[in-house]
Chain A
Amino acid sequence: MKKLLPVLIVLLNCCQKYETDISNIHDATKVIGHGGMGIAHTYPMNTYPSVRRALTLGADGVELDVQMTRDGVFVAYHDYELSDRSTASGQIFAQNWDDIKGATYLNPIYTAYPVMRLDSLISRLPGREDVIFFLDCKNFNPDTTDYFLDKFAVALLNFLDTYLPAENTYIELKRTDLILRLQSKRDDVMIFYYGENFNDAIKTAIEYELAGITLAIHLISEDQVKQAHSEGLMVSVVNVHTRSRNRKAVRMNVDFIQTDMLRFLMSFLGR
């Protein structure tokens, strides 16, 4: 019996569900699939199969990485260099969509999956009006001219109007010039500041009157989550790729968890 005890403890721990009330802006933890099903899944992030699988499993929403080509097409892709993960090369912002079209992912288990246009990915999603979308705008383009800022803002707003539910879509940005440009054109876009540290993130979010902040989970504490909530800011966390980090994120009462362990988090939340 003594030998079985540690096994039983481990098993009980695996089945543990979180039963404490959530206390945040909406009094609910929203489960967001990071790039769909997260890193290290059988589907590559930022592809339709990954996003669709996350939603069929019951995620509240998904996070997608967004980059804009030279000719104004949004592409769902994470890295600065296309060659890091795909058969294409160069940077997305420096090329037209026709130069990238047809590229597939490099990882030997992902070679059947193409790099996707964001409109192609989202437009075919059934029931997308009920899905929460986080668009992580990568903004690798070093261009700071008015022409570029306007082009990006107009293209993004047109995209939102065409494909996404305004009340469920959050734009993640690191560049304040783009935040200002978006706000100058529309005041109803919900923007999250993607911060490098808590103090900078909350300061920027308050200054620009944003909807919330996004931080890597190891960069924010439970007290800081409370502080953000007291300022009326929602909190979204990323880098949530272990069980312990998922549990921690729930206990911290963040509003959105961009998880890489969707099934575990759903199970932990008893859903």
Chain B
Amino acid sequence: MAKSIFPLVFLFLFPAYIFAGIRNKPRNIIYVEVMGKGGYGSLNYERLIFGNKLLGAGLGAGIGTYNIFDYEGNFNPDLIIPLSGSVYFFSPHRIEVGAGNTFSSIVHTGHPGPGTERVNSMSAGLFFGYRYQRQINGIIIRAGYSPVIEFYSRIVHRAGVSFGYAF
């Protein structure tokens, strides 16, 4: 009887359990990602929406680029804006799984003549990796495999490393 009731009780209490500790936890994270989902690199913000020692989740947005100046030498940056959600397990050494969408605006070859034009597109992205993040303010480190499903049709294998601060 006790065995059958325990999961129900656990499920009933689970939301309270997981939200209980968040007030004292760092809820904001700013990190720089090298490669990964945002071009050569991206600056990202993540908001923790719940978390404890076992489980956490966050929503994030970033901005990245490939080139700041276009091939004509003009200031005309490629823009890559990843939006993502992540779930991570355990602490402080965490397993992270994430998914999201990325908006890209890449400076491209003008057609058919010289000059440039922007090509805008959307892609999906995934993340499977490791995250070091303690339950208090401090540094975070992430590393993992972050494939991009370009134009929702073709997988581009990518990986990224992130360094940041949680507060």
By beta carbon, the residue of chain A nearest B78 is A112
How many residue pairs link A and B with beta carbons under 8 A? The number is 46
Which residues of chain A are near B113, meaning CB under 8 Å?
A: 124
Pairwise interchain contact B154-A112, C-beta atoms closer than 8 A: no
Asked whether any CB of chain A lies closer than 8 Å to the CB of B110, the reply is yes
User: Knowing A87-B154, A124-B114, A126-B114 touch, does A109 contact B71 (C-beta < 8 A)?
Assistant: no
**The one of A53, A112, A124 that contacts B112, using a Cβ cutoff of 8 Å:** A124
**The one of A47, A48, A57, A109 that contacts B66, using a Cβ cutoff of 8 Å:** A109
Chain A count of residues within 8 A CB distance of the other chain: 19
Pairwise interchain contact B119-A112, C-beta atoms closer than 8 A: yes
Pairwise interchain contact B110-A124, C-beta atoms closer than 8 A: yes
What distance in Å separates the Cβ of B64 from its nearest Cβ neighbour in chain A? 11
User: Knowing A48-B109, A109-B40, A109-B66 touch, does A53 contact B71 (C-beta < 8 A)?
Assistant: yes
Distance of A126 Cα from B115 Cα, bound (Å)? 9
By beta carbon, the residue of chain B nearest A120 is B112
Which residues of chain A are near B91, meaning CB under 8 Å?
A: none
Which residues of chain A are near B154, meaning CB under 8 Å?
A: 87, 111
Most chain B CB within 10 A, of A42, A48, A53, A125, is at A42
The B interface is mostly helix, strand or loop, or mixed, namely: loop
Distance of A53 Cα from B73 Cα, bound (Å)? 7
Distance of A148 Cα from B73 Cα, bound (Å)? 41
By beta carbon, the residue of chain A nearest B72 is A56
Asked whether any CB of chain B lies closer than 8 Å to the CB of A49, the reply is yes
Which residues of chain A are near B150, meaning CB under 8 Å?
A: 111
Which residues of chain A are near B112, meaning CB under 8 Å?
A: 120, 124
Measured CB to CB, the residues of B under 8 A from A are 35, 39-40, 66-67, 70-73, 104, 106, 108-110, 112-114, 119, 148, 150, 154, 156-158
Pairwise interchain contact B67-A42, C-beta atoms closer than 8 A: yes
**The one of B66, B72, B104 that contacts A42, using a Cβ cutoff of 8 Å:** B66
Which parts of A27-84 form the interface with B (CB within 8 Å)? 42-43, 47-50, 52-53, 56-57
Pairwise interchain contact B72-A52, C-beta atoms closer than 8 A: yes
Distance of A111 Cα from B158 Cα, bound (Å)? 12
What distance in Å separates the Cβ of A65 from its nearest Cβ neighbour in chain B? 18
Most chain B CB within 10 A, of A57, A120, A124, is at A124
Which residues of chain A are near B158, meaning CB under 8 Å?
A: 108
What distance in Å separates the Cβ of B131 from its nearest Cβ neighbour in chain A? 22
Pairwise interchain contact B71-A49, C-beta atoms closer than 8 A: yes
Distance of A50 Cα from B104 Cα, bound (Å)? 20
Pairwise interchain contact A52-B71, C-beta atoms closer than 8 A: yes
By beta carbon, the residue of chain A nearest B146 is A108
Which residues of chain B are near A53, meaning CB under 8 Å?
A: 71, 73
Distance of A120 Cα from B148 Cα, bound (Å)? 29
Which parts of A116-139 form the interface with B (CB within 8 Å)? 120, 124-126
The 6 closest A-B pairs by CB, nearest first: A53-B71, A49-B71, A52-B71, A56-B73, A48-B109, A108-B158
